Amino acid sequence: MLWWTRKQRRAAPLTAAQRRIVIPENVYRRMINHCYEERPLEACGLLVGEAGHVAAGYATDNQERSPILYRVDDRQLLAAAEEAHQLGREIVAIYHSHVASEPIPSRTDIAQATWPEAFYIIISLKGRRPRARAWRIVDGQVSEHLIVVARHFDGEWYDLRKAVRTVGG
């Protein structure tokens, strides 16, 4: 079932494998770089794969163009979801940055979370080094989950941002 037609359902208890997200190191690094490129605005994007294992990352535009709010560009979300579906994948995580705060879901992040099956990854740019944490947000309840950065395989990276595509073209 595609994301735009899905029905709200109660989330089942998580298995041990669902309590972590595995991200290829190259995708993790590109995700962090994307967040720095967008600073002072919040960055956002998508990670696709299967069963908590990321196969590809998609840098997207923040439709809000804000330093404190994010919203994945609607057209870019649709493009990534359609491509993932064609490849037998699904959106497994939505990431965004917190420019000046900790990598903990804000009240707004919690209120806007509508994908109980997805991880929400928050990258904090506060301080000298970026910090990323993964969360599940289901019916307003927040639980933290493990991020595993995998060095033994590479993932794909796609930059869907309009600003990047118009530069030099």
Domains of the chain: 16-164 (3.40.140.10)
Q: Which residue would you say has higher pLDDT here, 153 or 108?
A: 108
pLDDT attached to residue 13: 53
The per-residue pLDDT for 153 is 87
Measured torsion, CA atoms of residues 127, 96, 117, 27, in degrees rounded to the nearest 10? -80
The pLDDT score that the predictor gives to residue 162 is 86
Residues 85-105 have pLDDT tens digits of 999 999 999 999 999 999 999
Q: Would you state the pLDDT for residue 164?
A: 54
Residues 6+ apart with CB under 8 A from 16: none
Give the model's confidence band at 1: pLDDT under 50 very low, under 70 low, under 90 confident, else very high: very low
Where does the pLDDT of residue 152 fall: very low under 50, low under 70, confident under 90, or very high at 90 and above?
confident
Q: What is the predicted pLDDT for the residue at 166?
A: 46
What pLDDT score was predicted for residue 2?
42
Which stretches within the chain are classed as H helix?
25-38, 74-86, 107-112, 162-166
Nearest Cα neighbor of 122 from 21, 44, 18, 52 is 44
Tens digits of residue pLDDT in 7-52: 444 555 555 556 899 999 999 999 999 999 999 999 999 999 999 9
Query: pLDDT tens-digit profile of 134-144?
Result: 999 999 999 99
**pTM score of the predicted model:** 0.86
Residue 163 banded pLDDT, cuts 50, 70, 90: low
Which pLDDT value is given to residue 126? 95
Kindly report the average pLDDT of the chain as a whole number: 89
